[in-house]
């Protein structure tokens, strides 16, 4: 059986925009991905490690544990052997309390890739390949999260290209989620249910040959 770790934030956790509720597994893109791969005959288990508010390598001043670097090596160790690690991160680097740009966020992902590759896995287990998924372009935030993401759409300009450059440099797989879906029509940051489906089915087509 192939085990694929999804290391991500609320866009993958499945928060329902402008609420604190969560989509069911089968309606979140990791669940859609698992279902599509299983139906294609791939024996697979998607392991979700998706935390609301997770940054790449920075702390949330209001909530502990949102630095994506903390404990990442142990998560790789815990869940090995892994056939693939999929990371969809970056959106929270542009929250209003931060002043980072797209290049800095992508460098954060580069740091996470290095952590994955130095994780203390057991002898004989593979160092998993990594896929970096660029989040869809942030729109002007609306609703309850508007203050938290004020100005994010400007700070995040160029994020997809910056992540793609890091993926090429680090020899990771790359996918731009913005090619198949925009962000939520409701809050401008997260994903609506139909957008989860679009992303999950698109990633299934990309990942299928990697684990066949």
Q: What is the largest CA-CA distance in the chain?
A: 49
Look at residue 159 in the predicted model and tell me its pLDDT. Answer: 98
Q: Which two tokens stand for residue 108?
A: 């954060």
pLDDT tens-place string over residues 158-203 = 999 999 999 999 999 999 999 999 999 999 999 999 999 999 999 9
Rounding to the nearest 10 degrees, give the CA dihedral for residues 199, 205, 208, 210: -90
DSSP letter at 171?
A: T
Confidence of residue 1 (pLDDT cuts 50, 70, 90): very high
Percent of the chain with pLDDT over 90: 100
Confidence of residue 145 (pLDDT cuts 50, 70, 90): very high
Look at residue 54 in the predicted model and tell me its pLDDT. Answer: 98
Which helix (H) or strand (E) segment is 132 a member of?
strand 130-134
Which helix (H) or strand (E) segment is 30 a member of?
helix 29-39
pLDDT tens-place string over residues 79-134 = 999 999 999 999 999 999 999 999 999 999 999 999 999 999 999 999 999 999 99
- Chain-wide mean pLDDT for the chain? 98
pLDDT tens-place string over residues 39-71 = 999 999 999 999 999 999 999 999 999 999 999
Look at residue 52 in the predicted model and tell me its pLDDT. Answer: 98
pTM above threshold 0.75? yes
Q: Which two tokens stand for residue 141?
A: 């935030």
Q: Which two tokens stand for residue 49?
A: 């490690």
């Amino acid at each position: 059986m192939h085990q694929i770790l999804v290391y991500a934030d609320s866009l993958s956790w499945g928060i329902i925009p402008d609420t604190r509720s969560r989509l069911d597994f089968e309606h979140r893109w990791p669940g859609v991905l698992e279902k599509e791969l299983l139906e294609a005959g791939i024996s697979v288990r998607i392991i979700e490690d998706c935390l609301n508010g997770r940054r790449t390598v920075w702390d949330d001043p209001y909530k502990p544990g949102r630095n994506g670097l903390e404990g990442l090596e142990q998560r790789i160790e815990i869940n090995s052997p892994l056939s693939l690690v999929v990371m969809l991160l970056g959106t929270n680097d542009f929250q209003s309390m931060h002043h980072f740009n797209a290049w800095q966020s992508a460098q954060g992902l580069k740091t996470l890739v290095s952590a994955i590759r130095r994780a203390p896995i057991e002898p004989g287990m593979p160092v998993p390949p990594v896929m970096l998924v660029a989040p869809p372009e942030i729109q002007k935030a609306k609703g309850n999260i508007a203050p938290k993401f004020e100005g994010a759409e400007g700070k995040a300009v160029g994020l997809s290209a910056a992540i793609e450059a890091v993926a090429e440099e680090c020899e990771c797989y790359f996918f731009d989620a913005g090619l198949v879906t925009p962000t939520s029509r409701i809050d401008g940051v997260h994903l609506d249910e139909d957008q989860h489906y679009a992303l999950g089915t698109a990633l299934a087509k990309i990942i299928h040959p990697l684990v066949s």
